[in-house]
Amino acid sequence: MGARHGLARVLSKRGLCSRSQAERLISDGRVRLDGRVVRDPEHPTDLEQARIDIDGAASEQGAPRYLMLNKPRGLVTTTSDERGRDTVYRCFDGADLGWIAPVGRLDKASEGLLLFTNDPQWAARITDPAQGPAKTYHVQVDCIPDAATLAVLYTGVDVDGERLRAVTTSLLRSGAKHAWLEIVLDEGRNRQIRRLLAAFGIGVLRLVRVAIGPLALGDLPKGQWRELSPGEVAALGGA
């Protein structure tokens, strides 16, 4: 007998749907476990051996998928939006990928590298604040910060009860009124860069994530996606 988990967690671990989607399917009586309907999302279930049917069809563990997307500005990072806004899944229209979920998120106004997978364990390693890879951003700001300002971004500041800081901050280039910064974070707090810069009176004009750990966005066109290679998957968080 293999490891046992709640039925909803097993569906998620098998890469069939998200945990919340699994809970809804189970509660609605659409899931059979070894031939009988189970309505308890926490029902103990053998991860490896259990036979699970959804809507009468056998559901085998999905092949692991690992994707990267160059997220355009203006899309929200969610499967559906109650306000009817376009989501990142628009970029996958016409692709038969099964269930995949974003690994972390980028806010609506942000762009760049966003990962997707149906492997929750891999995703958890990527988003782990203590063990996950650093994230690199190129940020256009509405001023030209001096060296002292860049240094204090590393020191950090308390904002709404949270300590916000950058691992490194450097000036990439500057013009007459604007500049591009490279900012590296080792954690993913909500709107962290925008809130950190705002605390010092700096406004963000564009924010592009260009790398996660060793994986660079490269020349992937905006709105396009590709599969990760086995080497890239392993370098980010194993598989």
- pLDDT for 62 equals 66
User: Which residue among 107, 128, 142, 158 is the active-site one?
Assistant: 107
- pLDDT for 83 equals 81
Distance CA(75)–CA(175), nearest Å, equals: 29
* Residue 239: band (very low, low, confident or very high) from pLDDT cuts 50, 70, 90: low
Beta carbons within 8 Å of 65's beta carbon, 6+ residues apart: 15, 97, 98, 100, 116, 117, 118, 119, 227
SS3 state at 103: strand
- pLDDT for 47 equals 73
- pLDDT for 79 equals 73
Q: Does the domain spanning 4-58 belong to CATH 3.30.300.30?
A: no
Mean pLDDT of 65-77: 95
Tens-place pLDDT, residues 124-136: 899 888 888 999 9
Q: Does the domain spanning 135-212 belong to CATH 3.40.50.1110?
A: no
Asked whether the predicted pLDDT for residue 40 surpasses 90, the reply is yes
Tens-place pLDDT, residues 153-211: 888 888 888 888 899 999 999 988 999 999 999 887 778 999 999 999 999 999 999 99
Asked whether the predicted pLDDT for residue 20 surpasses 90, the reply is no
Domain with CATH 3.30.70.580 in the chain: 70-130+222-237
pTM metric for this prediction? 0.79
What fold, for 70-130+222-237? Answer: Alpha-Beta Plaits (3.30.70)
Percent of the chain with pLDDT over 70: 95
Asked whether the predicted pLDDT for residue 141 surpasses 90, the reply is yes
Identify residue 78 by its one-letter amino acid code. Answer: T
DSSP string, 23-79: HHHHHTT-EEETTEE---TT-EEETTT--EEETTEE-PPPPP-EEEEEEPTT-BSSS
- pLDDT for 96 equals 79
Pairing mode, strands 179-185 and 111-117: unpaired
Alpha helices in 66-220 (DSSP H): 120-127, 147-155, 192-198
- pLDDT for 235 equals 93
Domain with CATH 3.10.290.10 in the chain: 4-58
- pLDDT for 224 equals 97
Is residue 86 annotated as a catalytic residue, yes or no?
no
Domain with CATH 3.30.70.1560 in the chain: 135-212
Tens-place pLDDT, residues 211-229: 999 999 999 999 999 999 9
Higher pLDDT, 33 or 49: 33
